[in-house]
Amino acid sequence: MPFADPQTFAAIAFDYLVIGGGTAGLVIASRLSALPAITVGVVEAGPASYHDPLVTVPGRFGEALGGALDWSFETVPQPALHGRRLQWPRGRLLGGTSALNFMTWTRGNKQDYDAWEELGNAGWGWDSMLPFFKKTESLHQSSVTHQQTHQSYVTETDHGKDGPVATVHSKEYSVPHQHWHATLNSLGLATNTRHFGGSNIGAFTTLTSVDPASRSRVSSATAYCLPNIARENLHVLVNATVDKIELERHGNDWQAIGVTFSSGVQRFTAKADCEVVVCAGSVQSPQVLELSGIGNADILHKAGVSVKVHNRNVGENLQEHMMTAMIFELDPTLSGPDELRADPHLAKAAQQAYDTSRTGIYAMLPCALSYAPLAQVVSRDNLEQILSKLPPAAKSRDEVLRKQFDQKTRGQIEYLFDVGNWSPYYKSSAGKVYGTMLMMLQLPLSRGSIHIPTDTGREPTIYDKPVINPRYFEGHGGEADFEIMSECQKFADKICKTAPLSSVIRKRVYPPESTALSGGEEFRPWVRESCITDWHPIGTCAMGGHEGIESGVVDDRLRVYGVKGLRVADASVMPLHICSHPQATVYAIGEKAASMILEDREAGLGETRK
Per DSSP, what are the bridge partners of residue 280?
Answer: none
Q: Do residues 484 and 472 touch, judged by C-beta distance below 8 A?
A: no
Query: Would residue 250 show up in a list of annotated catalytic residues for this protein?
Result: no
pLDDT, residue 521, reads: 79
Query: What is the C-alpha to C-alpha distance for residues 80 and 68, in angstroms, rounded to an integer?
Result: 31
Is 284 annotated as contributing to ligand binding?
A: no
Angle at 129 between CA 125 and CA 131, to 5 degrees: 145
Per DSSP, what are the bridge partners of residue 387?
Answer: none
End-to-end CA distance of the chain: 30
CA distances from 127 to 109, 114, 131, 137, 581 (A): 11, 8, 8, 17, 19
CA distances from 164 to 211, 227, 591 (A): 11, 9, 11
Q: Do residues 569 and 558 touch, judged by C-beta distance below 8 A?
A: yes
Extended strands (E) in 548-608: 563-564, 566-568
Query: What is the C-alpha to C-alpha distance for residues 560 and 541, in angstroms, rounded to an integer?
Result: 9
- Distance of alpha carbon 231 from the chain centroid: 29
Count CB neighbours of 142 within 10 A.
21
CB contact set of 545 (below 8 Å; sequence gap of 6+): 116, 119, 120, 121, 396, 397, 551, 552, 556, 575
CB contact set of 406 (below 8 Å; sequence gap of 6+): none
Query: What is the C-alpha to C-alpha distance for residues 134 and 130, in angstroms, rounded to an integer?
Result: 6
359 φ, ψ (degrees, to nearest 5): -130, 180
Over the chain (610 residues), the average pLDDT of each successive run of 10 is 88 98 98 98 96 94 94 97 97 97 97 96 98 98 95 96 97 95 97 96 97 97 97 98 96 95 96 98 98 98 98 98 98 89 89 94 95 91 86 84 78 96 95 96 96 95 97 95 96 97 97 65 94 97 97 98 98 98 98 98 70
pLDDT, residue 520, reads: 61
Query: What is the C-alpha to C-alpha distance for residues 548 and 558, in angstroms, rounded to an integer?
Result: 12
451 φ, ψ (degrees, to nearest 5): -140, 160
How would you label 201-233 residue by residue, b for 16+ Cβ within 10 Å and e otherwise? bbbbbbbbbbbbeebbbbbbbbbbbbebbebeb
Among residues 215, 209, 204, 145, the alpha carbon closest in space to that of 177 is found at: 204
Is 582 annotated as contributing to ligand binding?
A: yes
pLDDT, residue 518, reads: 42
Is 126 annotated as contributing to ligand binding?
A: no
What letter would DSSP give residue 283?
H
Query: What is the C-alpha to C-alpha distance for residues 377 and 413, in angstroms, rounded to an integer?
Result: 9
Q: Do residues 488 and 321 touch, judged by C-beta distance below 8 A?
A: no
Domain assignments of the chain as residue spans, ordered by start: 6-48+221-318+539-602
Give the ranges where 497-582 is alpha helix by DSSP (H).
524-530
Is 36 annotated as contributing to ligand binding?
A: no
Query: What is the C-alpha to C-alpha distance for residues 61 and 58, in angstroms, rounded to an integer?
Result: 6
Superfamily designation of domain 6-48+221-318+539-602: FAD/NAD(P)-binding domain (3.50.50.60)
Query: What is the C-alpha to C-alpha distance for residues 445 and 14, in angstroms, rounded to an integer?
Result: 41
Q: Do residues 231 and 186 touch, judged by C-beta distance below 8 A?
A: no
Is 97 annotated as contributing to ligand binding?
A: yes
Sign of the Cα torsion 472, 441, 112, 581 reads positive
CA distances from 344 to 337, 341, 351, 376, 431 (A): 12, 7, 10, 44, 14
Q: State the catalytic residue, choosing from 179, 195, 321, 581.
A: 581
Query: What is the C-alpha to C-alpha distance for residues 36 and 186, in angstroms, rounded to an integer?
Result: 57
Q: State the catalytic residue, choosing from 195, 235, 536, 577.
A: 536
pLDDT, residue 500, reads: 98
Query: Would residue 581 show up in a list of annotated catalytic residues for this protein?
Result: yes
